[in-house]
A and B are shown apart, each in its own frame.
Chain A
Amino acid sequence: MSTEAVVELTGVTKTFPGVVALNKVDFCVRYNEILGLVGENGAGKSTLMKILIGLYRPDAGQIRIRGQLTTLKDPESAGRNGIGMVFQEGCMIPNLTVCENLFLSHEDGFMRHGLLQHKMIRSAAREVLARVGVTFDPDTVVQTLTPGEQQMVEIARLLWLSSLYEIANPVLILDEPTTVLLEDETKRLFEILQEIKQHASVIFISHRLEEIVENTDRIVVFKDGEYVTQLDPRQAEITEIEKLMVGKELTLDHFWVSEQGEPETDQPEVLGVNGLHLKGKFEPISFSIRRGEIVSLVGLVGSGKEEICECLTGTVKATSGRVAVAGKELRLSSPGDAVDNGIGHIPKERRSAGLALDMSVMDNINLLVLRTLKKRGFIRRRLEKANALKWVTEARIKTPSIHTKSAHLSGGNQQKTIISKWLSSSVKVLILDHPTRGVDVGAKSEIYGRIRKLASSGMSLLIMCDTLEEDIGLCDRMIILKDGRVVRQVQCPPDQKPTPLDLIDAIV
């Protein structure tokens, strides 16, 4: 690893109306390194990356690329300087093939007599893909690939472009690439990054500090738009990084285990699932959740856990089986049936499936309880405000007012808004699908606390988390699924939490 910088930013400042997104930031990327960039949401990571790929222009400061003072005026010029980014949500045209996406808008090299030579394109594509260790057919339509494979195609494209522009050491930016990956895909990604590193630099952004510590060469911490420090991953402790990111000591009892009740077998059964079955997705499954219990569904993608939840929320119709809430059997043919019978659901895709973004915090909180905020048949403004205010205070939603559009809140506060919406209604069972995805460390802890409170208030929770640690820390009981079957049930009482290692062989 060379200590020389391929990209160097000095005194870079970027302000948006009312916010200093970056404040006199000095930042560099060295040759042949994997740089882990960490910070809470809003710490300035994305702004910095958008400056690097030419989407934003800094208000002040200099950018040097390979020693040369450079202005990056758009993504095109960033590309010519060998800087490219793989976006969280992917940035390809889904209905075109891998080939077409790989060489999009750079097909000139494959022209003979004014016509595109498809044979040439295909063999070039195979070669480019081989460089990132993937072998699928270049004629595959991109939307049929897994998110992991799509990332590989994007990485391959960036590498190919930099060789096209004859850039020796390109810089690849990966923004939270692992949130959409399966465990073995993540492993693969890091293997490939280690190889790529031989002739490129990688900026790796992630909220998962474990993988940052394990896989990067250097860690840079950002907080509130400022560069805080850099760390050597071989010596860094995760708790230390968290402390730097948040700027304060996090509670040691991250998951509020001290508030987890003892398992109480005398509590009534609230959710009863009997022989629920979805053909091709999961085998008949039976389980129940007691009042105040947190049950965690654990398994890889494809284990059937997502589909089980979809059946319970009425999004997908089960092939057979019975579901009962508080002893009453349900007919689940739409989400409305689930909601009416007390099964709530906090979706994974917060923005696209959880919020009315252009409506106010108040409107979002009150959605499910509007019919109860009536007087003489009409919805009353006063009651609406009172209910919204109650929940904003109760859930400590940070918002300028209850009339603020929910789009303007941070991810953590949006999540708290969604949770409040379900709490204000009388759901008995709440299914939490990755409740802390894309939420920063500080807000995570608050959400854990909220989940704990929900349980102690008597709600039954079914959760699926981002990490195994989260599942273990939060739940009272864990159901481990593999290939659509239950392989193990594990009790997780407060004093005898299993470790991820105890469970991992059951999962994979």
Chain B
Amino acid sequence: MHAIPKTINQTGKRVLARISTWPTIYFSIGLLVVFVVLFTRGSRGFLSPYNLSSILGSASILFAVGAGVTWAIATGGIDLSIGGLMSLVSVIFIVTVGTIGYWAFLLCVLVGIIGGFTNGLILARVQIPSFIVTLGMGGIFTSMAYLISPRALSAPAHTFGILDLVNGSTMGVRNIYIIAVLVFIVFFVIQRFTVAGRNIFYMGSNIRMSWLSGINVVQSKQLAFMFSGVGASVAGVMLACRQYSGYPTIGNVYILTAIATVIIGGTAMTGGTGGVLNTLIGALIMSVLQNGMTVVGIDVYLQQTILGALVIAIVAISIDRKKLAVIK
């Protein structure tokens, strides 16, 4: 009847529908290969050891924050507070590392746990959409960072040895990779081998069914957003160490890039699919893309346009429209 909204071109829709049945991870790996080939041809320096190390370095940070957000997105929600949380953590780290040394790492992860837990607590108990809760909490985290220090803080020289926990190498492998791999292993094990991790995905896929099947959906949501907070805090520390400083806007750019990382990796916004392995590929794609565009000489300001367009295109292909009652 007339009340049916006019759909977009039928054939176009069919092609999209068909592509969307392929496992998303193949698509992501394909995209990664395409970009690597393109940039290698575009610039000889792209595959140089120095440049590769730079790509993997930023991929490690992107992955840490993205792996966390993957959990939030797997519930069918979103976490917009990660930018604020990363900034807050970077400031706390730099302020405390001089006095408490290695304990600062632990303190920061604790801040991430508490921050993420607060997100989860509010949105699951009070039942508010996650994007509102985390938007608000992101503001609060940023504000707290400003209250601690409105200006950029540099790490005191005597702490550089401690910062080597991130910046240094172990047996020829950069520590930043090792941290990323550890984050991967922890989250992958939770996702793949534990009931709590699985339940988060069941809940993201169909919350009513999960509730009726006896899954504690409130707990699952809280857990997912806590993981998101942990990812953001680890990334915040990595960032602070890498830049030898902390400041209240350091994490801002990661709101877009981390969410883009998750989506390009193939975790659907509608929840229940994808996972940290997807996000690992996503982080490599994003990092290759950001680096490669600079290496081949694309205007820095144009790069944002390309990234934004790519995110929209990926969602256009991967989203399951049937699952959304209304496209908002």
Residues on A facing B (Cβ under 8 Å): 17, 53, 55, 57, 74-76, 79, 84-85, 91-93, 101, 104-106, 154, 157-158, 161, 313, 315, 334-340, 345, 347, 352-359, 363, 367-368, 370-371, 377-379, 421
Contacts and interface: CB of A to CB of B under 8 A. Distances in A.
A368 B1 contact: no
Given A358-B272, A370-B195, A74 B6 contact: yes
A356 B3 contact: no
B206 to A, nearest CB: 5
Contacts of A363: 198, 202
B16 interface: no
A313 B212 contact: yes
Contact of A336 (B18, B202, B214): B214
B6 A356 contact: no
B214 A378 contact: no
Given A313-B212, A379-B192, A352 B1 contact: no
8 nearest A-B pairs in the assembled complex, by CB-CB distance:
A339-B214, A356-B205, A378-B193, A336-B214, A356-B206, A379-B193, A353-B208, A335-B212
Contact of A356 (B4, B268, B272): B272
A368 B272 contact: no
B142 interface: no
A374 to B, nearest CB: 8
29 contacts: A53-B1, A76-B6, A91-B1, A91-B3, A91-B4, A92-B3, A101-B3, A161-B2, A313-B212, A334-B211, A334-B214, A337-B214, A339-B213, A339-B214, A340-B214, A347-B209, A352-B209, A353-B209, A355-B206, A355-B209, A356-B206, A358-B272, A363-B198, A367-B213, A371-B195, A378-B189, A378-B194, A379-B192, A379-B193
B243 to A, nearest CB: 38
B251 to A, nearest CB: 31
Interface residue range, chain B: 20 to 34
Nearest to A345: B212
A422 to B, nearest CB: 9
B201 A359 contact: yes
Contact of A358 (B4, B211, B216, B323): B323
A75 B1 CA distance: 5
A307 B261 CA distance: 46
A354 B216 contact: no
B119 interface: no
Contacts of B18: 17
A358 B273 contact: yes
B215 interface: yes
Interface in B168-212: 189, 192-195, 198, 201-202, 205-206, 208-212
Contact of B195 (A84, A101, A356, A379): A379
B213, B272, B273: most-surrounded residue (chain A CB, <10 A):
B213
A73 to B, nearest CB: 10
Contacts of B10: 57
A379 B198 contact: yes
A104 B205 CA distance: 34
A368 B214 contact: yes
A31 B272 CA distance: 49
Contacts, number: 101
Contacts of B1: 53, 75, 79, 84-85, 91, 154, 157-158
Interface in B207-236: 208-216
A357 B270 CA distance: 12
B205 A357 contact: yes
Interface of B: 1-4, 6, 10, 14, 18, 189, 192-195, 198, 201-202, 205-206, 208-216, 268, 270, 272-273, 320, 323
B209 A354 contact: yes
| Most chain A beta-carbon contacts within 10 A, residue among B2, B6, B18, B320 | B2
Contacts of B270: 358
A79 B201 contact: no
A57 B11 CA distance: 11
A331 to B, nearest CB: 14
B85 to A, nearest CB: 29
A367 B202 contact: yes
Contacts of B323: 357-358
A439 to B, nearest CB: 18
| Residue of B192, B201, B205, B216 contacting most chain A CB atoms (<10 Å) | B205
A104 B216 contact: no
A499 B258 CA distance: 64
Contacts of A93: 3
Scoring A76, A345, A367 by chain B CB atoms within 10 A of each residue's CB, the highest score goes to A367
Contacts of B214: 334-340, 368
B3 A104 contact: yes
Contacts of A352: 206, 208-209
A347 B212 contact: yes
Contacts of B194: 378-379
B19 to A, nearest CB: 12
A371 to B, nearest CB: 5
A336 B272 contact: no
Nearest to A344: B213
B189 A358 contact: no
Contacts of A358: 205, 268, 270, 272-273, 320, 323
Contact of B272 (A92, A359, A370, A421): A359
B195 A336 contact: no
Contacts of B3: 91-93, 101, 104-105
Nearest to A366: B198
Nearest to B3: A91
A355 B70 CA distance: 22
Contacts of B320: 358
Given A76-B6, A337-B214, A356-B202, 14 more contacts: A57-B10, A104-B3, A105-B2, A334-B211, A347-B212, A352-B206, A353-B212, A355-B206, A357-B205, A357-B323, A359-B202, A368-B214, A370-B198, A371-B195
Given A335-B212, A358-B272, A358-B273, A76 B2 contact: yes
B274 to A, nearest CB: 10
A371 B272 CA distance: 19
B103 to A, nearest CB: 30
Contacts of A354: 209, 212
A465 B273 CA distance: 34
A358 B198 CA distance: 14
Contact of B2 (A79, A336, A340): A79
A57 to B, nearest CB: 8
Contacts of B206: 352-353, 355-357
Contacts of B216: 336
B2 A75 contact: yes
Contacts of B193: 377-379
Contacts of A313: 212
Nearest to B197: A379
Contacts of A55: 4
A336 to B, nearest CB: 4
A359 B204 CA distance: 10
Contacts of A378: 189, 193-194
B139 to A, nearest CB: 31
Contacts of B209: 347, 352-356
Contacts of B273: 358-359
A91 B3 CA distance: 7
A315 to B, nearest CB: 7
- With most chain B CB atoms within 10 A of its CB, the pick from A157, A161, A334, A345 is A334
B4 A75 contact: yes
Contacts of A91: 1, 3-4
Contacts of B268: 358
